[in-house]
Amino acid sequence: MPRRAVSALLATTAALVGLGLPAVSPVADPAAAEGQRPAPRSAVPFPTRTAADRDGNTRLADDRGRILQLRGANLGKFDDITEQDVADLGAAGLSLLRLPIQWSLVEPTEGSYDAAYLQHVQDVLDWAHEAGLLVLVDWHQDVFGPAFGFDGAPAWATRTDGLEFEPVDGNWFNNYFHPAVQAAFSHLWNDADLQEAQVAAWTHVAAQLAGSPALLGYDLFNEPMWTSGTFETQELPAMYRRVIAGIRSVDARSWLWIEPTVLVGEGLPVRLPGIEDPRAGADRIGFAPHAYSSAVEDGGDWDATSIWVSAYEAQITQYPRRHHLPVIVGEWGPIAANADFPGNVELVEQQAASFPRFASGWAIWYGCRSATGGGYCIFTDDAGHLDPGRGAAWRPYALALAGRTVRETAGAHRFRLSYRPRPGTTTVIVPSGFATRPDVAVTTGTRAAPARVRMSAPTATGARTITVRPRHRPQGTWTLTISG
């Protein structure tokens, strides 16, 4: 989860290691006409392959070769997720749910899996399918687990070598460096019986969820914490390989997402080796880093003159480009209580512009609701309206692009995508709050492009789906403009 890392912590870390078409008619929605919640939009295409872009990034693509772009939120860490919550994510125009689950809830007693909890996880996947979302199931932990007052591994899997734990004063993240917590991680990475137990638990989860239509895949370990200078080159990849082998024994379809060490977003280089996928056919391995600015996480306003976003992009793209991995930024976003600070608004603006340049998607933290703007909640009310303080995150995006992007720009009132189209349907999502009645134009040069353009009726909070399909074999560069 988000961390409020400080400079002293980083020092410790370093030591450890215009033109338009005629008006587009909306598609009628009988449920909306009757005052009911509109029917879910079409399901998000499942990525079956990848494609390289001109900058060397690997992109997720569907079975028709369309390039996919997923945008969503985290929710469920505190078992605080309902069918209405999931429906609201879809209605807002999001397409991805990152669902944190915890080993302590999967296997509260050694060797005994909680069927009711896993049924709840399956229910969330079913709700997501109805809402038109893909789900990334995240093996979540913060400061190892409940034995230390946090989340993650069960108490029976916590070994401290007899060291007593007392919470560390100040920033909660400092608890990671307590000797008892360090001992627990060291045993998890190195003790054969704990290694086997973790693999068995992951395999059991995957066996229960495999085949769920909304299941994108599994984020194998949230924010892994190092205990030695060889952690990222030896212990961490060994853990990934063990878990991957277990999951692949029961699920060959899903994507498996690996994370670098916990503070990679603060400039630490990724030292992971390549991770292979034993499934038959092309690998389905992805890279899922997080993107938090420590200055903002400490409760301040971001320095708008900082080069942190560009530096993060330059650093974080090196590993996935080298190993041809698609990227999903699994967590990001300023704390909502400070989200409308001028610098933080600019931070979201820059990150929202940066991620599409190299990533196939992102999941902001956190999909809860708060009328007072508390915590990280992205919704401001029970009706599912998105927080305007992070408005740059709620701009249109090409969910499935039949073609190759030439240039994309997104502002508060205009989205413009220039692309070289191929035969097939391009689907663009207009999230809630971007425009009440968006205008849509598809042009080539100075003329309207020969395309069939359709816009759905709005959801309860105003999100829409736009589809563009060439009337004949397309040529040249097209520009899709959405304004409002």
The answer to whether residue 408 is domain-embedded is no
31 has pLDDT over 80: no
170 pLDDT exceeds 70?
yes
Quick check: is 276 in a domain? yes
- Which residue type occupies 391? G
The C-alpha angle with vertex 401 and arms to 400 and 402, in degrees rounded to 5, equals: 120
For 371-409, b/e burial (b = at least 16 CB within 10 A) is eebeebbbbbeeebbbbebbbbbbbbbbbbbbbebeebe
Domain of residue 162, CATH code: 3.20.20.80
pLDDT of residue 1: 54
Percentage of the chain modeled with pLDDT above 90: 79
Full domain range(s) for residue 127: 7-17+70-394
Note whether residue 385 is domain-resident: yes
Structure tokens belonging to residue 475 = 């040529």
Asked if pLDDT for residue 32 goes beyond 90, the answer is no
Q: What is the pLDDT of residue 462?
A: 96
The stretch 85-99 carries a mean pLDDT of: 97
- Residue 121, pLDDT above cutoff 70: yes
- Lowest model confidence (mean pLDDT) among 19-33, 150-164, 176-190: 19-33
Q: Which amino acid is at 389?
A: G
Q: Choose the most confident range, by mean pLDDT, from 70-79, 320-329, 370-379.
A: 320-329
List, in sequence order, the alpha helices (H) in 92-222. Answer: 103-106, 115-131, 179-190, 192-209
Quote the pLDDT of residue 15: 39
pLDDT at 18 over 70: no
Decide if 442 is inside a domain: no
- 283, part of any domain: yes
Output the pLDDT for position 41.
Answer: 47
Quick one: how far is CA 210 from the chain centroid? 20
Query: 323 lies in a domain?
Result: yes
Euclidean distance between CA atoms 197 and 188, whole angstroms? 10
Please check the confidence at residue 343 and state whether its pLDDT lies above 90. no
Domain count along the chain? 1
**Of 34-38, 120-124, 462-466, the least confident:** 34-38
Is residue 412 assigned to a domain?
no
Residue 300 within any structural domain of the chain: yes
Cα separation of 461 and 386, whole Å? 9
